[in-house]
Amino acid sequence: MGRFILRRLGQGLLVVLGVSLVVFVAMRVFGDPAKVMLPLSATVEQRAEFEHLIGLDRPLPEQFVHFVKDLVTLDFGESLWQRRPAMEVVFERLPNTLMLIVSGLGFAILLALPLGAIAALRPGGIVDRVTVIGGLIGLSTPQFWLGLLLIMLFAVNLRILPTSGIGSWQHLVLPALTLALPSLARMTLLVRSQVIDELNQQYVKTARAKGMRFHTVLFGHALRNTLIPFITLAGWEVISALAGYTVVVESVFAWPGLGLTAIQAIQRNDLFLLQAIVFTVAIAIVLVNILLDIIYKFIDPRIKLA
């Protein structure tokens, strides 16, 4: 177990190194940080001073070594916008994003299993058809639009929930729901099709023929076998939410998490802060991936961690 985690951390290091290479090439080779970050009125001297300050006047390989060194020490420089270390801003906003993901995707995960299983009991029945059509609509709806529709319905017309911001639990309802619905749709459709396939297997007929109760077969066998692909998808949902899909939800609801901060950093040309956010999220994704592998091991003892 310990060796496995070490190995995966090593692979994670490769991912973070890859991210830093891409970010470096994008920022220093294709882009011009001085042009993006300095005001238009900056003089040539100011520009030279800024370039010297962040080391843009040195050769590229040397710049990359410094870049990686800063990365290892988690020193991303000072946020231009907030005038304080970028990592401080990140740690302040990270809990908000995590709260959104846990509540939204938690809701989706808890609801997808029963919904999908009920639909699978009678393939082609009325419940099944409603679930499938609802699911397809859910995964075809752009999240930002869904969020705006929910605002129009619950905040503008019914006036029972706040339009945006953070504070009470009521503020969390709409953003979490917006984040949850497309994921809920994908996961429900997966559970449904997996359970239908499982219930058509020969072992189910055998179990039923020897007199096992249907719900024992369903819960003890069919749903259990659905868990592995389900967790793969649920993990993917968490990762893609981390990797940026909360950006859209957070900017619709002005939810002060990492995503909204990323957009604000872009609007204020604060590349250091943006960089800090990207690396924090990259590390978070590596950790979630390791956690997923450990969960697999617990669910299916046949899986060997290597």
Site residues, other proteins (CB under 8 A): 11-12, 14-15, 18-19, 22-23, 26-27, 30-31, 33, 36, 123-124, 136-137, 139-145, 148-149, 151-152, 156, 240, 242-245, 247-248, 251-252, 262-263, 266, 271, 274-275, 277-278, 281-282, 285-286, 289
Nearest approach in angstroms of CB 267 to other proteins is 8
C-beta closer to other proteins: residue 110 or 287 = 287
CA dist 154 and 84 (Å) reads 38
Question: Hey, what are 19's tokens?
Answer: 């991210």
C-beta closer to other proteins: residue 129 or 213 = 129
Question: Hey, what are 152's tokens?
Answer: 């129009």
Amino acid at 50: F
The residue among 41, 80, 38, 40 whose CA lies nearest residue 56 is 38
C-beta closer to other proteins: residue 21 or 65 = 21
- Please list, in sequence order, all residues whose beta carbon lies within 8 angstroms of the beta carbon of residue 189, skipping any fewer than 6 positions away: 116, 131, 132, 135, 136, 139
Nearest approach in angstroms of CB 216 to other proteins is 25
Yes or no: say if 268 and 89 are a contact pair by the CB < 8 Å rule. Answer: no
The residue among 265, 278, 281, 279 whose CA lies nearest residue 80 is 265
C-beta closer to other proteins: residue 85 or 135 = 135
Nearest approach in angstroms of CB 304 to other proteins is 18
C-beta closer to other proteins: residue 144 or 212 = 144
Nearest approach in angstroms of CB 50 to other proteins is 16
